[in-house]
Amino acid sequence: MQKIYFDHSATTPVDKKVLNDMLPYFTEKFGNASSIHSFGNEAMAGVDKARKQIADSLNCNSSELIFTSGATESNNIAIKGLIQAFRKKNPNKKIHIITSVIEHDAVLEPFLEMEQKGVELTFLPVESNGLVNIEKVKNAIQDNTILVSIMFVNSEIGTILPIREIGKTIKKVNGKRLNNWKKCKTTSRGDKPQRIYFHTDVTQAVNFIDCNVQWNYIDLLSLSAHKIYGPKGVGALYKKEGILLEALQCGGHHENNIRSGTLNVPGIVGLGSAIAQIDSKTRDKNNIKITELRDRLVSGIIKNIPDVKLNTDRKVSTPSHAHFTFFGVEGESVLISLDLEGIAVSTGSACASGNLKASHVLIAIGIRKEIAHSSIRFTLGKYNTKKEVDKLIQVLPKIIKKIRNINPLYELTE
């Protein structure tokens, strides 16, 4: 059976070019990048090259990058590391932080942990298409706000958040505060005002959008290799020069003491290579191709299956995503049925999650719990074909019909 993969938001296959770039670093160039002999130097050369590749892509300096095990770790270091470093310097100051209700758990949970430790937390609501309103960001900022964290692309519905506008807003507030402070008499003005830092998780964005940190006014950024046709278990954190972060684990003082642990050289080389494949020309080309496939998939589903709703707002989303509600079916049973046909998708249904809770993202965009269970996410990638989309459109209507037929509460209207 020909297998078809429509779950690129979960992970992507490693690009063959990326794999070839990585391979020598397992056997021939296996040295510890911290060693100062030739083996170590060879490994470090690979790390340096990857650092440069990532820096070029993000438009930052190599020295502003920290390699991690992935975006989850990058998020944890950015959020907890920033707050802990701030606390150390200002033990008596109250701290306020802002995030959105549709963040990934890898951002939400560190935020909630910080809240437990006495940090004041604001969750920004989102519109029904997942967008954050800039005015709401502005209004949420307090005198003691030190961090705003908003994802670039939502992994479930694909919404692209207005990162540049948010970054600009924060920059303006920072500039205004500094100017007001400068205008005050030096004898009475007190400490320099605290800067608000802007963190964004770009894990789902890199394939489709230029994540230039200068253009987007980003201070801290997390990314992961395995979502961009690179290997699993490696990611990076961009930290603008001068920002203080406290390490979450101690040890061998790697990565400027922020992330101790022997560098995952093949993984890092893979991350660099993966990001280097996504130059603006390739990105545009893939975006056009994937948009065409997504539109074919969406219109095929809408034409062939009654009683469905597209939850992805295509005007504001990455080309990859098509998130649907199929009324009257439970998502996990659709997922398993498609899997039996060799087609991989994902669902926001509680029945497919470890904690048996409906997706917080779907609830946040106003989807009722009973309908959240009926959702299926298709996420397309650069290797998908029209033929694969057509195969899905051929098998899915029968599956939905069969499962609706078993549902005691669903009246077949066909």
* Count of residues that interact with another protein, criterion CB under 8 A: 24
Residue 232's closest CA among 382, 64, 72, 76? Answer: 72
For another protein, the binding residue among 16, 37, 250, 409 (CB under 8 A) is 409
CA distance 320 to 21: 26
Based on the shown chain and the rule CB under 8 A, indicate whether residue 373 belongs to the binding site for another protein.
yes
Based on the shown chain and the rule CB under 8 A, indicate whether residue 364 belongs to the binding site for another protein.
no
Window contacting another protein (CB under 8 A); options: 16-24, 26-34, 263-271, 330-338:
330-338
Q: Measured between alpha carbons, how far apart are the two ends of the chain, in Å? A: 31
Window contacting another protein (CB under 8 A); options: 142-150, 192-200, 227-235, 329-337:
329-337
CA distance 58 to 15: 20
SS3 230: coil
Based on the shown chain and the rule CB under 8 A, indicate whether residue 410 belongs to the binding site for another protein.
yes
CA distance 413 to 161: 37
Based on the shown chain and the rule CB under 8 A, indicate whether residue 68 belongs to the binding site for another protein.
no
Both tokens assigned to 271:
């991350």
Based on the shown chain and the rule CB under 8 A, indicate whether residue 358 belongs to the binding site for another protein.
yes
Window contacting another protein (CB under 8 A); options: 180-188, 258-266, 300-308, 331-339:
331-339
Give ∠ CA 409-413-414 in degrees, rounded to 5: 135
SS3 40: helix
**Catalytic residue check, 351:** yes
Based on the shown chain and the rule CB under 8 A, indicate whether residue 286 belongs to the binding site for another protein.
no
Based on the shown chain and the rule CB under 8 A, indicate whether residue 380 belongs to the binding site for another protein.
no
For another protein, the binding residue among 105, 115, 370, 390 (CB under 8 A) is 370
For another protein, the binding residue among 330, 380, 381, 382 (CB under 8 A) is 330
Based on the shown chain and the rule CB under 8 A, indicate whether residue 408 belongs to the binding site for another protein.
yes
Report yes or no: 200 and 104 within 8 Å, Cβ to Cβ.
no
Closer CB to another protein, 250 or 409, in the complex: 409
Residue in 184, 211, 250, 351 annotated catalytic: 351
**Which stretches does DSSP call E strand in 29-125?**
65-68, 96-100, 120-124
Min. distance of Cβ 334 from another protein in angstroms? 9
Based on the shown chain and the rule CB under 8 A, indicate whether residue 41 belongs to the binding site for another protein.
no
Rg of the chain over all Cα atoms, to the nearest angstrom: 23
CA distance 72 to 47: 21
Residues 246-285 interacting with another protein (rule: CB under 8 A): none
| Pure H helices in 330-385 | 331-340, 360-364, 369-372
Min. distance of Cβ 304 from another protein in angstroms? 22
SS3 5: strand
Residues labelled catalytic: 351
Interface residues with another protein (CB under 8 A) are 328-330, 332-333, 336-337, 340, 349-352, 354, 356, 358, 368-370, 373, 406-410
